[in-house]
A and B are shown apart, each in its own frame.
Chain A
Amino acid sequence: MQNRRQRGWAVSRHRIVAPIPELNSLLSLFSCLACQCRRLCGPWLWLLAAALGGHFDAQAQTLTLSTAETVRSESARFPEGQAIQRVNLPHVWDKDARENSPLWYRLRFRLDQPPSNTQQAAYFEHVCSQFELQINGQVLATPFSAGPVRSRACHEPVLVPLPAALLRPGDNVLDVRLRGQPLQRVAMRSRAAALAPVVIGPHDTLRACAEQARMGNLDLSIALTTVAALCGLAALGMARVSHLDYLAYMGAAALGWALWLTLMHLTELPLPAPWAEALLVTLLPPIAAAGMLFLLRYCGLAVGWLETAVWLQCLIVPLSLVLAGADRLHAIAQPWPIILGLELVVIVGWFLQRAWQWSRPDFWVVGIPVAVFLVSLALESVFGPDPVLLPGKHGMNLALATLLAGLSWRLYQRYRQDLDAAQNARAQLEKRLQDTINDRDKDHGHMAEMRMEQVAAKERKRIAADLHDDLGAKLLTIVHTSDNERIATLGREALEEMRLSVRGLTGKPVQLGDAVGDWRSEAMMRLSQGGVELVWNVSDEVLLSERKLSARAYVQTTRILREAISNLLKHSKATLCEVRVQADMNDFEMTIIDNGNGIPMELDGKLDRGHGMMTMKSRAKQLQGQCLVESGPGFGTTIRLTLPL
């Protein structure tokens, strides 16, 4: 059972698209294919296909009726015998604003051959707004309601199948009873009561045309209006998130436009006719205002007087309609959209010119939609169904979609820029933080070093004090209480050594000039006591030099000098001693020359332990320097001490 039903469905569909080897059927097939592809291709592609397919008027079997006899009457049938007026179709009620009684149209046509097996139909491209059809005196089912005349959307073409039984070969009469609003009382021409030329022909062919017209006007409109509404909602959503007011205005304009188009396309507005028409006109200024404000705000401008004027317009327009009255509605309603359109054009032009100078990307964001609108306008006027009921509505929808795309891209661009800037700022901040931390660590390290130095210095001072107190006191006691001269001398020398050691521990670096002064004083004192002449040979360069000897180097040099003088005084019997001090970039050199007998080698071992030339050499080596001693009877003694600075 189910299978058969399904099969039946398939069969009926099959019949529609069954290939028939006749030209008009081929054409109708083409048109039907075009209809089927509206779901697959985009609207434009479809429109092109429809344009190519649909305007192939199947002229062979269709009849276009362009004249009619008209009588205004309330009767249920075409009033015979009354004065008739011949009119040419398309005919619009624009004579008298108060004419709202129904108008009868009588169209005569001749069917030469007997009606073939194909179903005939009457195709009304545009009929507004309520009508009743009678063929050869017989009433056909029509959407005609009694009651007050309402404003209707007359965008849909109407296709009425003509039953073969009612048709006669030869002369036929088609009566149309039309009710509607005269032109003066409506907002737009397409809503006025009118009748377009009627086409009589095969049902299938005409249906193709009807479908095509419907697509072009209705379905496409619905699709694009939905797109525009969605764009408006998206813009409003973005405005809420990003707090950019121009997006809110754009969203309001797009939504308002979509709403207005929907109202336009509604078959019936639940309002009495004049109010509905007025509503349609009144809704336009706010939409235009939103659009203009969007452009202004996008520039970042707030021109007070312009905004006030634009909002004032929203009040003036309905006021003017009210003042005009129902009878002159069209006269007032017609210029207003043009005025609004011109205002919009001016603002768009001004914006584009400004954007060209200041911000090219924004120029493209608004310029491309404008171009899209213009191109689609051109395409519509060339390829669009006839009559063009609302010029540019498709183009407007597409332009709005393009505009939203452009704005989103721009927003994304700005977002990316801000993101990059934020990331850069963050990287810089992190770098600065790292630098501060590094400096802090360095300072810490520095301070830790200094603290360690301080602690070490304190330790050394403590050791020195201990040495002086304990060791020094005991040595002193030895010096002063021993009878043995040698022991006393040893004790004295031990004290001197202790002092030097302490000095080496705790002392600060000594300037060369100061060190030389100390050495000279001591050498002079001792040698003059021993009756030896001292020649002190130190250049001014050394005396004025700013180089410093470390405390250890100073102490060791002092020791070596003392030792040399002691040896000189004790053993060498010299009468002259020369001391030379030199210093260059890296080294310091002291030379002690005397003219004595030299230090005999055998005595060296017997000298007090810890002294002697071996000790001098090892001490110099400890400080990365060297001490050379040349000594011998007859030559005297030359001690050359070199230390690094």
Chain B
Amino acid sequence: MKQILLLEDLPEIRAWLRALVLQVFPGSTVVEAARVHDALQQVSAQRFDLAMVDLGLPDGSGVKVVQALREHQPDAQSVVVTIHDDDDHLFPALQAGAYGYLLKEQPREQLMEHLQRISQGEPPLSPSIARRMISYFSAQAAKPVPQQPMVDTLVPNVQLTEREREVLLRVAKGFTLPEIGVQLGLSRHTIADYVKQIYRKLNVSSRAEAALEAQRLGLFRR
């Protein structure tokens, strides 16, 4: 029994997604929104367990909704559903806290499988996204630790563990998760856990970085 938010502006696609979601999570309540503005209102109005967010909306990017959800409802999972498969569009969403992405034109079965996996904690990871993550975490590691945190909250300097970095590297080379499990001598679930960790660290690191940047009065924004 889930509360699901669905943000999509094209009505046909919205209907189709709704059907999909109800198939994967039967019995859940689906709240539809066609504008970022409406979606934000919904986020502040009620609690959600899952959000399917489109990126390209008439009045802005769905990334704002993902951010709002992460801030106000940390337990909710956001999944980005989009046409774009390039990391320029996806990475910011992932940084904002999305827990995976779905490509709209994939066949129904694949989508269902992916959606289930995401809800079970196995977000997908494409080579280009993995590459992007590697470069992001390398850049983070190269930054100096701030001596005096100017924020009240802790500013963690998240680093990937060795294992996580290995997993990312292999994903970037094009190996699938089962293959990586075989190569590293671990089970597929362990690998999937690593991927989950990576996503979380990405989100945490990105938020902290954003806070720091805000503290730096907008200097050196990426």
Residues of A within 8 A of B (CB): 468-469, 472-473, 475-477, 479-481, 491-492, 495-496, 499, 503, 513-514, 516-521, 524-525, 528, 536, 543
Q: Report yes or no: A520 in contact with B173, Cβ–Cβ below 8 A.
A: yes
Please indicate the chain B residues that have their CB under 8 angstroms from the CB of A479 in the complex.
105
Cβ-closest chain B residue relative to A479? B105
Please indicate the chain A residues that have their CB under 8 angstroms from the CB of B126 in the complex.
518, 521
Q: Report yes or no: B85 in contact with A524, Cβ–Cβ below 8 A.
A: no
Shortest distance from the beta carbon of A518 to any chain B beta carbon, whole Å: 5
A521 to B85, CA, bound (A): 14
Quick one: given A468-B83, A480-B12, are A475 and B175 in contact (CB under 8 Å)? no
A543 to B12, CA, bound (A): 43
Chain A CB within 8 A of B218 CB: no
Shortest distance from the beta carbon of A542 to any chain B beta carbon, whole Å: 11
Please indicate the chain A residues that have their CB under 8 angstroms from the CB of B105 in the complex.
475-476, 479, 491-492, 495-496
Chain B 91-128, CB-CB to A under 8 Å as 1, else 0, gives 00000000000001111000000000000000000111
A468 to B85, CA, bound (A): 11
Chain A CB within 8 A of B191 CB: no
Q: Report yes or no: A469 in contact with B56, Cβ–Cβ below 8 A.
A: yes
Q: Report yes or no: A543 in contact with B13, Cβ–Cβ below 8 A.
A: no
Cβ-closest chain B residue relative to A480? B16
A514 to B179, CA, bound (A): 18
Residues of B within 8 A of A (CB): 10, 12-13, 16, 56, 83-86, 104-107, 126-128, 131, 171-176, 179
Quick one: given A476-B105, A499-B85, A521-B127, are A516 and B10 in contact (CB under 8 Å)? no
Q: Report yes or no: B83 in contact with A476, Cβ–Cβ below 8 A.
A: yes
Please indicate the chain B residues that have their CB under 8 angstroms from the CB of A528 in the complex.
176
Please indicate the chain B residues that have their CB under 8 angstroms from the CB of A473 in the complex.
10, 13, 83
Shortest distance from the beta carbon of A318 to any chain B beta carbon, whole Å: 88
Cβ-closest chain B residue relative to A474? B10
- Looking at B13, B127, B175, B179, the one whose CB has the most chain A CB atoms below 10 A away is B127
Please indicate the chain B residues that have their CB under 8 angstroms from the CB of A476 in the complex.
10, 13, 83, 104-105
A521 to B178, CA, bound (A): 12
Shortest distance from the beta carbon of B154 to any chain A beta carbon, whole Å: 35
Shortest distance from the beta carbon of B172 to any chain A beta carbon, whole Å: 5
Q: Report yes or no: B131 in contact with A468, Cβ–Cβ below 8 A.
A: no
Q: Report yes or no: A519 in contact with B174, Cβ–Cβ below 8 A.
A: yes
Shortest distance from the beta carbon of A501 to any chain B beta carbon, whole Å: 13
A469 to B104, CA, bound (A): 13
A577 to B105, CA, bound (A): 26
From A468, A496, A518, give the contact of B128 (CB < 8 A).
A518
From B12, B106, B127, B174, give the contact of A477 (CB < 8 A).
B12
Q: Report yes or no: A514 in contact with B172, Cβ–Cβ below 8 A.
A: yes
A594 to B163, CA, bound (A): 35
Cβ-closest chain A residue relative to B110? A529
Q: Report yes or no: A481 in contact with B174, Cβ–Cβ below 8 A.
A: no
From B83, B84, B127, give the contact of A517 (CB < 8 A).
B127
Quick one: given A521-B176, A528-B176, are A468 and B12 in contact (CB under 8 Å)? no
Shortest distance from the beta carbon of B1 to any chain A beta carbon, whole Å: 26
Cβ-closest chain A residue relative to B86? A503
Please indicate the chain A residues that have their CB under 8 angstroms from the CB of B16 in the complex.
480-481
Q: Report yes or no: A516 in contact with B174, Cβ–Cβ below 8 A.
A: yes
Please indicate the chain A residues that have their CB under 8 angstroms from the CB of B174 in the complex.
516-521, 524, 536
Q: Report yes or no: A517 in contact with B172, Cβ–Cβ below 8 A.
A: yes
Shortest distance from the beta carbon of B7 to any chain A beta carbon, whole Å: 15
Knowing that A468-B56, A514-B172, A521-B126 are A-B contacts, what are 16 other residue pairs whose CB atoms are under 8 Å apart, sorted by A's residue number? A468-B83, A473-B10, A476-B83, A477-B12, A480-B12, A492-B105, A492-B107, A499-B83, A503-B86, A517-B127, A518-B127, A519-B174, A521-B127, A521-B175, A524-B176, A543-B173
